[in-house]
Every structure is written in structure tokens, then in C-alpha cells.
Structure 1
Amino acid sequence: MSAAPAPVEQTVQARLILGTHRSALLRVTLRYRCTDPLAVRMAFPAEYALDAAEPDPYDPNAPRDPHDPFDPVDAAGPAGPEIEWVFARQLLAAGLDLPAGEGDVRIRPAFGLRTMVELRSPEGVALLQFARNDLRRFLWRSHLAVPEGQELRHLDCDRALAQLLA
């Protein structure tokens, strides 16, 4: 029996669109688990949760823009709690080339080799902009772990059902 492929994890930079002329840079961790082969995960720092309060600009622990010449604080900061969104790997792949998604997660190509990811919840809508090549690289690595069309061979139906009923 061969060992299960290793999970895929990649940290990328995204731009959270806050308004017409406002945005914030944040690090997003993309994850793919071979034990959950149909899904991808996007993890964000908890301070960017839709139900979080507006960041205090005077808070020394608030997220910072690393490109702001007047703010010498490292934007990476300490690793803390995360908010994780889980959605279909196929949705991410489809959204790189054409608008995809009708529910809580919508993905579409944008100008300048960018990809927009829209996350909807009862608390509001978050719009994130990614470099398309970062997302393509992550998908390529996930397809090396579990090739497209082979997902059901890696799916543990009993475990998935137990998680669903838990």
C-alpha cells in the first residue's frame, strides 16, 4: 500500500478590496488535503473576518500595509487564529478562466492577470484580488498530489459521512 500524497499548502498575498480607493494587503494560506480531494481551503487572519470590527489604525497589532513607507511594522506579524473558507477545487479552476460560482463563493478573472474571489456570508461580502499565477501554481501542485478526475479514489466515504453527520 502506498503512502497518501502529502497535503499542499501555499501562502500567497491577496488584496482585500475595502472600497473604491481603499484596500489592504493580507496573506492567505491555500490548502489542499488529499483526504478531502474535492475541496480547497483559503485561510485568512481572523482580524479580516466579515464580522470583525473595523481595524483600529492606532492598534500596534492591527494588520499593516508593507508597502506603506510611513509604516515600518512587518505586515506578516505573528501567526494567530484563522478564518477558513472551504469550497470546490473545480470552482477555483473554472474561475481562473471564466466567471464561476453562484453561491457563497464566486471567482472570476480580472484585468491584468488577476483573479477576483468574492466570499459571501450573512455578515457581508469580502472581495479579494489574487495574482492568477499564484492560484494556478497552487492548483498545479494540488493536481500533482491528486490528479483531476482521480479524486474519488482518494475519498474516504465513511469518514466524509461521519464528518457530515457530526
Structure 2
Amino acid sequence: MTTVIEQDVEARLVAAAPRMPTIPATLAYDRSDPFAVRMTFPAPATLEGVEVSWTFARELLTAGVEEPSGDGDVRVRPYGYDRTVLEFHAPEGTAIVHVRTGELRRFLKRSTALVPAGREHLHLDVDQNLAELLGGAC
């Protein structure tokens, strides 16, 4: 059975210039980290020229396609009929991208089929996580 879901999405970077370039991004969900999703931007799409990944709560993405959500480093909100805005805040600056809401919903549906919402705790390996946290001290 598949334990990781990856889905390529097309994002539009919101910049000061009127043109909004399309950049590739990949959404990923791993059953072994059931509360999180990861969005990765390849090196050519970033200012630093290195691949950048943001990990945030699946629940944030789920809520954000319906209503503004988040007050930390990642914020998600609907934009118009068929777009969702994702804001990524870092000390270096803020990146704002638009993604088609349908693509996000398709990804969320696939992740929920793998691990239903409210059942994430059943997929946690508490012993393994505790051992990693303690660095083998026990």
C-alpha cells in the first residue's frame, strides 16, 4: 500500500511586477508524518537557487481552501472562484503563490483516503519519535 502521496501543482508567484510567472511545486503527504503536508519548490524557482520545502499542517491547508487560516509562517486563504493563496513568511521575506483550488482539493482528497482526518494518531510511531527526540539517550 502506498504510504507517500506526491502531486505536482502549478503555482503562480505573486511579485511586485504585474506579470505572475508560473513555477512548479510539489505537494507531498507521508503517512508516517500524518499531520503534515510538504510543499517543495525546485531550485530554479527560488531566489537562493536551492530547493526549498515548507512543512505545515494538513488541517491548515484543508481549512485554508475554505476560509483564511493560519497566523504563523504559513497562511492559506481562498482567492476568487478557483484559486487559493499560500503565503510563506521567513526572515528573508515573504513568498506568495496562487494555486488552483481544485488541485489542492484533489491532493487533500488523496491524503484523506490514505489517512482519514481524525485518524492521524493511529499512524504515529510514538516509540520511534521518542527515540529520535531523545537522540538515543535511553
Q: Provide structure 1 residue ranges, at least 5 long, that are not aligned to the other structure.
A: 54-80
Q: How many residues align?
A: 135
- Structure with the bigger RCO (C-alpha within 8 Å, sep 6+) is 1
Q: Higher helix proportion, which one?
A: 2
**Matched residue, 1:19:** 16
The 1-side partners of 2:69 and 2:17 are apart by: 23
Displaced runs of 4 or more, over 3 A: 47-50, 161-166
Q: Structure 1-normalised TM-score?
A: 0.75
**Structure having the higher Rg:** 1
**Matched residue, 1:143:** 112
**Matched residue, 1:94:** 63
Q: Structure 2-normalised TM-score?
A: 0.89
The 1-side partners of 2:33 and 2:86 are apart by: 21
1:145-164 equivalences in 2 (<5 Å):
145-164=114-133
Matched, 1:38 2:35: yes
The 2-side partners of 1:163 and 1:128 are apart by: 33
Match of 1:113 among 53, 78, 82: 82
The 2-side partners of 1:23 and 1:114 are apart by: 14
Q: Provide structure 2 residue ranges, at least 5 long, that are not aligned to the other structure.
A: none
Matched residues, percent identical? 47
The residue type equivalent to 1:150 in the other structure is R
The 2-side partners of 1:165 and 1:18 are apart by: 42
